[in-house]
């Protein structure tokens, strides 16, 4: 599995031009995350373990490739907004770590422009990781949780 260098450079350019910190794309068995390093401002490219050892990214700073451990299927944010794990502050969370869920089940809310958008899982399985905290801002394509 490989990505075209021009494609990676275009993703890095999108990050810079739109003041984003990260962009993640998944298509079938291909996945890539390009993340801006807050310290140096350089871009880092993250791909599954089957990726090549080094992939250059468009940036003034050198880039590094990280190979994440497989955590299951990613549920990503379809928009920029604020992540909420429950329908209200005093309510039970939609899901908890280790919970078995069904495809189509609401797993969280992403608030965008004062609209509460229920996010449904595309997968059935067990919640293996919740990647964001309640009330945390999220970006388009950011991984919210993993289902295995």
| Tokens, residue 24 | 């993640």
Indicate whether 10 and 35 sit together in one domain: yes
Residue 28: domain span: 5-66
Indicate whether 101 and 136 sit together in one domain: yes
Indicate whether 52 and 78 sit together in one domain: no
> 73-98 burial, b if ≥16 CB within 10 A, otherwise e?
bbbbbebbbebbbeeeeeeeebbeee
Indicate whether 79 and 57 sit together in one domain: no
> Tens-of-pLDDT digits for all 148 residues of the chain?
466 777 777 777 777 777 777 777 776 667 777 777 654 455 555 544 444 444 444 444 444 444 455 578 999 999 999 999 999 989 999 999 999 999 999 999 999 888 899 999 999 999 999 999 999 999 999 999 999 9
Report the candidate in 87, 121, 118, 85 with the shortest Cα–Cα distance to residue 102. Answer: 121
Indicate whether 27 and 57 sit together in one domain: yes
Indicate whether 38 and 85 sit together in one domain: no
pLDDT, residue 15, reads 77
pLDDT, residue 69, reads 56
pLDDT, residue 18, reads 76
Distance, in Å, from the CA atom of 95 to the CA atom of 73, rounded to the nearest integer, reads 16
Indicate whether 62 and 128 sit together in one domain: no
Give counts: helices (H), strands (E), the chain: 1, 12
Q: In a 3-state reduction of DSSP, which class is residue 3?
A: coil
Pairing assessment for the beta strands 125-130 and 143-147 based on DSSP bridges? antiparallel
| Tokens, residue 47 | 């791909």
**Gyration radius from the chain CA atoms:** 16
Strand partners, 23: 34
Report the candidate in 25, 35, 26 with the shortest Cα–Cα distance to residue 66. Answer: 35
Burial class (CB in 10 A: 0-12, 13-18, 19+), 142: buried
Query: pTM of the prediction?
Result: 0.53
User: How many domains does the structure of the chain reveal?
Assistant: 2
């Amino acid at each position: 599995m490989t990505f075209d260098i021009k494609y990676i450079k275009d993703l890095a350019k999108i990050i810079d031009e739109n003041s984003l910190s990260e962009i993640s794309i998944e298509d079938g068995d291909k996945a890539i995350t390009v993340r801006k390093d807050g310290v140096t401002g350089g871009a880092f490219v993250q791909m599954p373990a089957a990726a090549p050892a080094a992939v250059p990214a468009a940036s003034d700073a050198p880039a590094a490739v990280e190979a994440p451990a497989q955590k299951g299927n990613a549920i990503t944010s379809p928009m920029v907004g604020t992540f909420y794990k429950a329908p209200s502050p005093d309510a039970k969370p939609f899901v908890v770590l280790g919970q078995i869920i069904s495809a189509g089940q609401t797993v969280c809310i992403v608030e965008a422009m004062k609209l509460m958008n229920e996010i449904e899982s595309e997968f059935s399985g067990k919640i293996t990781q919740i990647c964001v905290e309640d009330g945390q801002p999220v970006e388009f394509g950011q991984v919210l949780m993993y289902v295995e």
